[in-house]
Chains A and B, each alone.
Chain A
Amino acid sequence: MQMWEELKGIRQRESCNSWCILGYFNSIRNEGERRGISQARGNKREMQGFNNFIDSMEMVDIPCIGRKYTWYRPNGKAKSRLDRILTTFEWLQHWPGSKQYVLNRQVSDHCALVLKSNITDWGPKPFRFLDIWQEHKEFDNFVKDKWGSYLVQGNKILVLKEKLKMLKSDLKGWNKDVFGYTDKIKADIMNKIQELDIRDDEDELDENKIRERRELLSQLQDINMRNESLLQQKSKALLMEEGQAHLTMEAKTQD
Chain B
Amino acid sequence: MRILSISVRGFGSPVKWRYIKDIIRKEDSKMVCLQEVKMASFSLNNYCQLWGDNDIDYFYSEPVNGAGGILTIWHTKFFQCTKHIINRWYIVFFLESLGRVIFLLLLQMCILHVIYN
**Residues of A that sit less than 8 Å from B by CB:** 1-3, 7, 10, 14, 16, 18-27, 42, 46, 71, 82-83, 85, 91, 94-95, 98, 103, 106-117
Query: What is the distance, in angstroms, from A99's C-beta to the closest C-beta of chain B?
Result: 11
Binds A, one of B39-47, B48-56, B85-93: B85-93
Complex Cα–Cα for A90 and B109 (A): 26
B35 touches A16 (CB 8 A): no
**Residues of B that sit less than 8 Å from A by CB:** 1-9, 13, 15-16, 19, 23, 27, 29, 33, 35-36, 70, 85, 89-90, 92, 94, 100-110, 112-113, 115-117
Interface residue from A7, A85, A110, A116 paired with B7 (Cβ < 8 Å): A110
Complex Cα–Cα for A117 and B98 (A): 15
Chain A residues whose CB sits within 8 angstroms of the CB of B106 once the complex forms: 21-23
Q: List 6 A-B contacts (CB under 8 A).
A: A21-B106, A23-B5, A82-B7, A98-B1, A110-B8, A115-B4
Output the residue of B13, B92, B108, B116 with the most chain A CB within 10 A.
Answer: B116
Complex Cα–Cα for A227 and B11 (A): 55
B90 touches A116 (CB 8 A): no
B100 touches A21 (CB 8 A): no
B7 touches A107 (CB 8 A): no
Majority DSSP secondary structure for residues of A touching B: mixed
A114 touches B90 (CB 8 A): no
Check A115/B2 contact, CB under 8 A, given A10-B92, A26-B110: yes
Query: What is the distance, in angstroms, from B30's C-beta to the closest C-beta of chain A?
Result: 10
B16 touches A23 (CB 8 A): no
Query: What is the distance, in angstroms, from B70's C-beta to the closest C-beta of chain A?
Result: 8
Output the residue of B6, B9, B23, B116 with the most chain A CB within 10 A.
Answer: B6
A18 touches B102 (CB 8 A): yes
Query: What is the distance, in angstroms, from A6's C-beta to the closest C-beta of chain B?
Result: 9
Check A107/B8 contact, CB under 8 A, given A16-B103, A22-B33, A27-B112: yes
Complex Cα–Cα for A245 and B96 (A): 41
Query: What is the distance, in angstroms, from B51's C-beta to the closest C-beta of chain A?
Result: 16
Chain A residues whose CB sits within 8 angstroms of the CB of B100 once the complex forms: 18, 94
Check A27/B109 contact, CB under 8 A, given A7-B90, A16-B103, A106-B19: yes
Interface residue from B9, B13, B112, B116 paired with A110 (Cβ < 8 Å): B9
A24 touches B1 (CB 8 A): no
Check A18/B7 contact, CB under 8 A, given A10-B92, A25-B109: no
Complex Cα–Cα for A128 and B1 (A): 30
Nearest B residue (CB) for A100: B5
Chain B residues whose CB sits within 8 angstroms of the CB of A110 once the complex forms: 6-9
